[in-house]
Amino acid sequence: MGVPEPHEQGEDCLNLTITTPGVDDRSRPVLVWFHGGAWVSGAGSWKFYGGHRLAREGDVVVVSVSYRLGVLGYLRAPGISEGNLGLADQLAALRWVRENISAFGGDPDAVTVAGQSAGAHTVQCLLGMPDAEGLFRRAVVQSSPAALGLGSARSARKAAERFLTRLGADPRTVPVADVLDAQTALAREAAGRLGLRAVPLFRPVAGVGPLPDAARWAACLAGRAPGLDVIIGTTGREMSAFYALNPMLRRLRRIPALGAATADAVERVAGTALFDRPSRRLAARLTEAGARVWTYRFDYAAPASLFGATHCIELPFLFGTDADWTTAPMLAGADPHDIDTLGRALRTAWLSFIRTGTPSTDTPWPPFTAAAPAVRHWHP
């Protein structure tokens, strides 16, 4: 994605960034956006996630959510934090939208939730969260690490133990900078000697706060599905964002004959396991329960980019402005005409979905079914 504009990092982060065509009584559809960043980075206020083009082209209100991250948002440790505080922040944001968005020209009864990566996982959680009932009508799930499931108490406990050992002090009394330093050191350690383990330590955990246990989540999702419209998709090379610059894999690619093919296979297998296959399972599960679902694969690859159709590659086509993405490595060598043409088509589809529950495209995009699991491929 490149380097975002600098923001002050702090715990006073429960903020919304609202972009609206007009503060009036037009009752426009609302898009609530949850950013990604592996639950440890990002901000809804980044220019990357600006909603100006969507608001202008579709006459909708865009709300981008900031929430607590990392240890401060997802540590589960008795006496310190129950866990899922970041998820509780996101639920609070939806409640705020329900109560207040009409003052910003939005319709609280026409809310679509959308997210990418960790933000997409948030949307998955919301789909089966009883406390989120009535807070949204439609959902867009972009590149969710769906294989992580809802998170287990065991993994949360182990992560907390490792963090507290690394910190070596009471996180309630030490400076926040020490908490973040320990978090960073632990993340490097958890990535392993080869740096290939990309699973975040601090993330939502089932059965804590607003997130029910797996069985209740599944029951809630099944009960809600008949009234849901959902878009679910991935990119062509999800794991290149994590593996393309990995030193071990780069050395492997230099080995004659099978080196590059082996490195590609490692990346492909990891992407299929973490993103692709579980996303299709989620689509099938929702469809079987009665939801209307559309699936996609975003295949655009900039010609001079090392990353190809990588994780996050669809974001410049939806959010921000061209100027905000000019230095993004994943867009190296991109043809501005391709960016403009594909961006307008993608935004048209998403805006149609936000307004009507059906994505409108220039080529047929039938709903996903078990018998015909249609996938819309996005490329110039």
Mean pLDDT, 10 residues at a time, the chain of 380 residues? 87 93 96 96 95 97 97 94 96 98 98 98 97 97 95 94 95 93 91 74 95 97 97 97 87 85 90 95 97 98 96 97 95 96 97 96 91 91
Tell whether the torsion through CA atoms of 38, 64, 357 and 87 is positive or negative. positive
- Whole-model pTM: value is 0.95
**What Cα–Cα distance (Å) separates residue 369 from each residue in 143, 290, 354, 360?**
20, 10, 21, 18
Residue 61, helix vs strand vs coil: strand
Angle between helices 118-127 and 85-100 (to 10 degrees): 70
* DSSP labels, 88-136: HHHHHHHHHHHHHGGGGTEEEEEEEEEEETHHHHHHHHHHT-GGGTTS-
Tell whether the torsion through CA atoms of 85, 89, 94 and 98 is positive or negative. positive
Would you name the residues annotated as active-site residues?
117, 238, 311
Side by side, which strands form the sheet with 292-298? 16-19, 61-65, 28-34, 106-116, 138-142, 229-235, 292-298, 375-378
**pLDDT per position as a tens digit, 316-360:** 999 999 999 999 999 999 999 999 999 999 999 999 999 999 999
Provide the phi-psi class of 242: left if phi over 0, else alpha when psi is between -120 and 50, else beta. alpha
d(CA 1, CA 8): 19
- Quote the pLDDT of residue 257: 78
What residues does 231 pair with on adjacent strands?
140, 294
16-150+201-378 CATH, one of 1.10.3720.10, 3.30.420.10, 3.20.20.70, 3.40.50.1820: 3.40.50.1820
Domain limits, the chain: 16-150+201-378
